[in-house]
Amino acid sequence: MKNKKFLPVLLLIVTVFGLFLLAQRREKPKTVASVSRSFDRIPVAVAVVSQATLRDSVALVGTIEAFREADIFSESEGIVRRVAAEPGDQKKAGELLLLLDNEVAAIRHTKADVFYRQKKRDVERYKNLYNEGAVTLSLYETAQLQYEEAKAELVAASRKMSDAAIKAPFAGEITDRFVEQGELVRVGTKVAHLVDLSRIKVVIFVPEQVVTKFDEGQQLTVVSVLFPGEKFNGTVGAVSSKSGLDHTYRVEVVLPNGGASRFRSGMFATVISSGEEASDVLMVPRIALVSGIRKPEVFVVRNGKARLTSFVAGRELQNNLEVLSALAVGDSVVISGQSELHDGADIRVIGQPKGAVKP
């Protein structure tokens, strides 16, 4: 009797266990497929193409250069007898920098001077004799030629003696001196470096899209992080007519340099060309570019896929690029994970979409 009651219970337990195993076997392939599909999608971060209102202005960072600078070379040969230039010294135009041994040059100059004065007297005497008919024209002309030769020798000797005194060609500051007192200097030896920082040049390289905004004589504003809150007035001194390989043009902005806010060669400064007109522009983050600015392409997210899209780029706006065509406001572009993508790849967006940063 007891066995008959136990048999239905056992059958019920076996049936429930069988159904449980069957359910587990059906659910397992579904879970694996789901996980597989999840890993097939490449995780990416995206940003949104945005719109901003900008004035027609340009801000470019440039390098400061001295208005004039030169390496000073010796035009004579000799021992350095006197040094009158140290790094940091301010020199006027024509002021002595170095004095070489000029004893031999002085003797040659004295000899040339004596010869010149003698030939000058000779030509005057022969002139009087010729006027009186006492000498022929050929003797008088010979005396004239000897006088001209003596004059030329005196000029050369004077130049040779003056070359022993090496002087500043323009007013400026000594930044380097390369010889010491007692050192032998030969012709062509570099002895010092001189810079004129009374005025400076801010050298910027302007993209071809905006180079027409810069004209010689144009007034521009210059700012520097070294002097916060200060603005300097500069003038466009030169605009190159030939671009470099990167399609930029060299522009020099000249401004006076002095007072407490004194620039030094090699510093950075920002040149600002302010426009009056305002316009609405589309911006895309620069980091969204797949390759580079020469061939601008981005991956645009559409229906869970990454679509490689070429667009026309305009101005560079700090960390963003101006979009002239092919993209629209609200388009999501990939800013992280581009190296793993191809056109049409399945993607999974992680995090919140970021908007383009305002310039």
pLDDT tens per residue across span 255-276: 999 777 789 999 999 998 876 6
Lowest mean pLDDT among 170-179, 192-201, 349-358: 349-358
Sheet of 312-317: strand order equals 50-55, 278-285, 320-325, 312-317
Could you tell me which residue, 81 or 325, shows the higher pLDDT?
81
- Determine the pLDDT at residue 271: 92
Lowest mean pLDDT among 38-47, 107-116, 325-334: 38-47
Q: Is the pLDDT of residue 355 over 70?
A: no
How far apart (Å, rounded) are the C-alpha atoms in residues 108 and 34? 101
Q: Which residues contact 210 (CB under 8 A, 6 or more apart)?
A: 58, 273, 315
How far apart (Å, rounded) are the C-alpha atoms in residues 225 and 236? 21
Taking the alpha carbons at both ends of the chain, their separation in whole angstroms is 91
- Determine the pLDDT at residue 41: 85
Mean pLDDT confidence for 329-358: 81
Could you tell me which residue, 289 or 34, shows the higher pLDDT?
289
Q: Is the pLDDT of residue 357 over 90?
A: no
How far apart (Å, rounded) are the C-alpha atoms in residues 194 and 53? 47
- Determine the pLDDT at residue 254: 96
Q: Which residues contact 141 (CB under 8 A, 6 or more apart)?
A: none
Please, what are the domains in the chain?
43-54+278-355 (2.40.420.20), 58-66+197-273 (2.40.30.170), 103-162 (1.10.287.470)
Per-position DSSP letters for 229-243, written without gaps between them:
T--EEEEEEEE-SS-
Mean pLDDT confidence for 322-339: 89
Q: Is the pLDDT of residue 359 over 90?
A: no
Please state, rounded to an integer, the average pLDDT across all residues of the chain.
85
Q: Is the pLDDT of residue 353 over 80?
A: no
Mean pLDDT confidence for 126-150: 90
Mean pLDDT confidence for 134-141: 89
How far apart (Å, rounded) are the C-alpha atoms in residues 277 and 333? 29
The pLDDT confidence band at residue 2, using thresholds 50, 70 and 90, is: very low
Q: Which one-letter amino acid corresponds to residue 221? A: T
pLDDT 10s digits, 67-83: 999 999 999 889 999 99
Encoded tokens for 318: 């700090």
- Determine the pLDDT at residue 307: 93
- Determine the pLDDT at residue 31: 45
Q: Is the pLDDT of residue 166 over 80?
A: yes
pLDDT 10s digits, 5-59: 556 666 667 676 666 666 665 554 444 444 444 557 889 999 999 888 776 677 8
Element (H, E) at 283: strand 278-285
